Amino acid sequence: MKKTLIIANWKMNPSNTTQAKVLFDEVAKVLKDVKKAKVVICPPFPYLSIINNQLSLIKLGAQDCFWEESGSFTGEISLSMLKDLGCKYVIIGHSERRQFLNETDRMVNKKIKAALIKNIRPIFCFGESKKDKDQGKTQNVLKKQLENGLRKIIKSDVKKIIFAYEPLWAIGSGKPCSPEEANVIRLFIKKIITQKYSRPIANEIKILYGGSVNSSNVKSFIQQGSFQGVLVGGVSLKPKEFIKLVKNI
């Protein structure tokens, strides 16, 4: 049975290590042997080392990385460092980084390639803004983000990428995309991958939805929307609600 992938993005929360440990332990003690889902928790960098997931099915992910291996890059974190801390996944190109830190498609592409080299699975985030959507530009914007993000990535590697469609207007707004609308986008993503690679590859890749997912709507994205998983922000900080979400898939 293929497991549904649930990625928890804690963003810049909670505010200290004690709270981070409490949050993780609360979730892990219930979800440590959950069968239907694969849960990946992506805490802020300083908490990666205090979250001990050795005996759990919960996997660890980071929220960003840098593409260089080492050197004079003040403030950056390499993939080797993330690997050393037990990260199996890394979120790349989240809209908040694109918006607040001017992260470009080119940088996203470099980070994805560096993660693939280190065998850490990239969670490649992309999505359109409200303005793009209102102007009918959604597909053009997504096509550009996908093509630029996947530049010079070969067939055998693209299968390792987890694609996360996150419409900006749905993130943190409490107004998710409808599963029907999200499914149209999922099929569009597959079309782009088919054109760039092949149909078998498009059928193999994992595509997630993210944006105001909660315990009541998660099932609709997996069942009606046919997504292979979800990326969860706000709800991942509420242990009871997050556990309910994972159990409701």
Select 61 or 211, whichever has its Cβ closest to ligand PEP: 211
Please tell me which residue in 96, 147, 166, 180 is annotated as part of the active site: 166
Residue 6's region, left for phi above 0, alpha for psi from -120 to 50, else beta, is beta
- In whole angstroms, give the CA distance from residue 97 to residue 10: 14
In angstroms, what is the minimal distance from the CB of 12 to ligand PEP?
Answer: 11
Please tell me which residue in 69, 94, 103, 180 is annotated as part of the active site: 94
Binding site for ligand PEP (CB under 6 A): 9, 166, 171-172, 210-213, 231-234
DSSP state of 235: G
In angstroms, what is the minimal distance from the CB of 91 to ligand PEP?
Answer: 8
Q: With beta carbons less than 8 A apart as the criterion, state whether 120 and 90 touch.
A: yes
In angstroms, what is the minimal distance from the CB of 156 to ligand PEP?
Answer: 28
Select 70 or 173, whichever has its Cβ closest to ligand PEP: 173
Is-catalytic flag, 94? yes
Q: Where are the beta strands (DSSP E) in 118-226?
A: 121-126, 162-165, 206-210
Select 48 or 233, whichever has its Cβ closest to ligand PEP: 233
- In whole angstroms, give the CA distance from residue 15 to residue 192: 40
Q: With beta carbons less than 8 A apart as the criterion, state whether 85 and 63 touch.
A: no
Q: With beta carbons less than 8 A apart as the criterion, state whether 230 and 6 touch.
A: yes
Select 64 or 202, whichever has its Cβ closest to ligand PEP: 64
CA-CA-CA-CA torsion sign (29, 30, 36, 38) = negative
- Helix (H) or strand (E) segment spanning residue 95: helix 95-100
- In whole angstroms, give the CA distance from residue 13 to residue 23: 10
**How many Cα neighbours within 13 Å face the side chain of 207?**
25
Is-catalytic flag, 147? no
In angstroms, what is the minimal distance from the CB of 68 to ligand PEP?
Answer: 25
Q: With beta carbons less than 8 A apart as the criterion, state whether 37 and 8 touch.
A: no
In angstroms, what is the minimal distance from the CB of 152 to ligand PEP?
Answer: 26
Select 142 or 231, whichever has its Cβ closest to ligand PEP: 231
Cβ-closest residue to ligand PEP?
Answer: 233
Residues marked active site are found at 94, 166
